[in-house]
Amino acid sequence: MSKGAGPGPDSDTADEAVRGTCDDASICKRFAVSSGYWKDPYIQYFVRQAKERKAPEINRGYYARVQGVNLLLNAFLRKTECNCQIINLGAGLDTTFWRLKDENLLPKKYFEVDFPAIVARKLYNIKSKPPLSKPIMETHSGESLLLDAHSLDSARYSIIGADLRNLKDMEEKLKKMSMDPQLPTLLVSECVLVYMTPEQSASLLQWATNTFPTAMLINYEQVNMMDRFGQIMVENLQRRQCNLAGVDTCQSLQSQTERFLSTGWESADAWNMMNVYSNLPQEDVMRIEKLEFLDEKELLEQLLLHYCISWATKDSLGLGLAGITF
């Protein structure tokens, strides 16, 4: 990445810590998957199994996060009848492409963006593990696949190494991989924007509305960060050299929706994860609640109150995107 894109002289160290969050997320997801919270046959090929158990409240938090994002993502695919593209921003080791392929729900094209170092690792796994590469090859027809150290372009799946704070470079790379601004576009940012300053994430959100006439963005991240519990979360991350540069946008559900409305989105909503959890299919919630005994109910509630899913739409084609909700 270009050094100038970071917040200061320590930007390389800061970015390295941000890149490290990618492992945290995937290791926690893998642990929850291996404990039966949801099915993901692909995550095992990207990260090792955690050495230590994760607490039940962490597993339930990840369950709510993954199911919540999937629920809105699937609703977008239904509204557009898969005649759309998805761009996963800061995708890390996310496995959604492989899930959608298995469920016959692939969009016309699925893009992923992350720092080049993360993309290189992801590509290494894809290249060396047939369960990951086969679905990409199966959906690829015609010309030979374009592959280098920091990108791959196939008919239905593309991954690029780029910095989300360098929009010109990112856009150029996406265009090279046949991103089509006229297609209904779903952007996903799961625990990503919080690592950028409010100005940098606002530029990204504005770029999206300037580029795509019909779009939705799903964002998962912290909220209510100004209270005591929120401050402890910030301090814990800082101790690991990880600075939440975007924490000011995570004050409230209102600050989360306002960031969309001030960057050209037509509609926006934000729910804390407590609310999301209560609105997930309750049969499955009852199933996962039986998996492990939860001692710390209050801690789970606090955790869920300090994360949210926010989403926004812009709908030039009149597909009814503003109606998507839990």
Ligand X SMILES: C[S@@+](CC[C@H](N)C(=O)[O-])C[C@H]1O[C@@H](n2cnc3c(N)ncnc32)[C@H](O)[C@@H]1O
Q: Which stretch binds ligand X (CB under 6 A): 18-26, 101-109, 137-145, 316-324?
A: 18-26
Q: How far is the CB of 237 from ligand X (least distance, A)?
A: 11
Residue 90 is assigned to a ligand binding site: yes
Asked if residue 307 binds ligand X (CB under 6 A), the reply is no
Closest to 93 measured CA to CA, from 182, 24, 37: 24
Among 21, 67, 85, 310, indicate the residue that binds ligand X (CB under 6 A): 21
- Report the C-alpha gap between 104 and 96 in whole angstroms: 12
| Shortest reach from residue 220's CB to ligand X, in Å | 7
Residue 72 sits in the site that holds ligand X (CB under 6 A): no
Quick one: 159 or 319, whose CB is closer to ligand X? 159
Q: Which of 61, 68, 90, 230 binds ligand X (CB under 6 A)?
A: 90
Nearest residue (CB) to ligand X, 91 versus 183: 91
From 32, 64, 132, 191, residue interacting with ligand X (rule: CB under 6 A)? 191
Q: Which amino acid is at 213?
A: P
Separation CA 75–CA 67 (nearest Å): 12
Which of 295, 314, 294, 272 is closest to 186 using CA atoms? 314
What does the DSSP 8-state code read for residue 245? T
What is d(CA 132, CA 117) in angstroms, rounded to the nearest whole number?
19
Of 153, 190, 221, 315, the residue at the interface with ligand X (CB under 6 A) is 190
**Residue 318, marked binder:** no
Q: Contacts for 63-67 with beta carbons within 8 Å, 24 or more apart?
A: 63/32, 63/37, 63/38, 63/288, 64/273, 64/276, 64/277, 64/280, 64/304, 65/190, 65/220, 65/273, 65/307, 65/309, 66/29, 66/32, 66/38, 67/38, 67/280, 67/284
In b/e form, how buried is each residue of 122-157, taking b as 16+ CB within 10 angstroms? bbeebeeeeebbebbeebeeeeeeeeeebbbbbbbb
When asked if residue 6 is in the footprint of ligand X (CB under 6 A), the reply is no
Q: Confirm or reject binding of residue 87 to ligand X (CB under 6 A).
A: no
Size of site (CB under 6 A) for ligand X: 21
Distance CA 262, CA 312 (A): 11
User: Binding residue for ligand X (CB under 6 A) from 40, 57, 114, 153?
Assistant: 114
Q: How far is the CB of 29 from ligand X (least distance, A)?
A: 6
CB of residue 22 to ligand X, shortest distance in Å: 3
Query: Does position 219 bind ligand X by CB under 6 A?
Result: no
Out of 195, 212, 271, 307, the only residue in the binding site for ligand X (CB under 6 A) is 195
Consult the annotation and say whether 289 binds a ligand. no
Could you give the CA distance from residue 242 to residue 309 in angstroms, rounded to a whole number?
22
Tell whether 199 is in a known binding site.
no
CA 149 to chain centre: 22
Q: Binding site: what residues are annotated? A: 65, 90, 163-164, 190
Q: Which residues bind ligand X (CB under 6 A)?
A: 18-19, 21-22, 25-26, 90-92, 94, 114-115, 118, 163-165, 190-192, 195-196
Q: Binding site for S-adenosyl-L-methionine: what residues are annotated? A: 65, 90, 163-164, 190
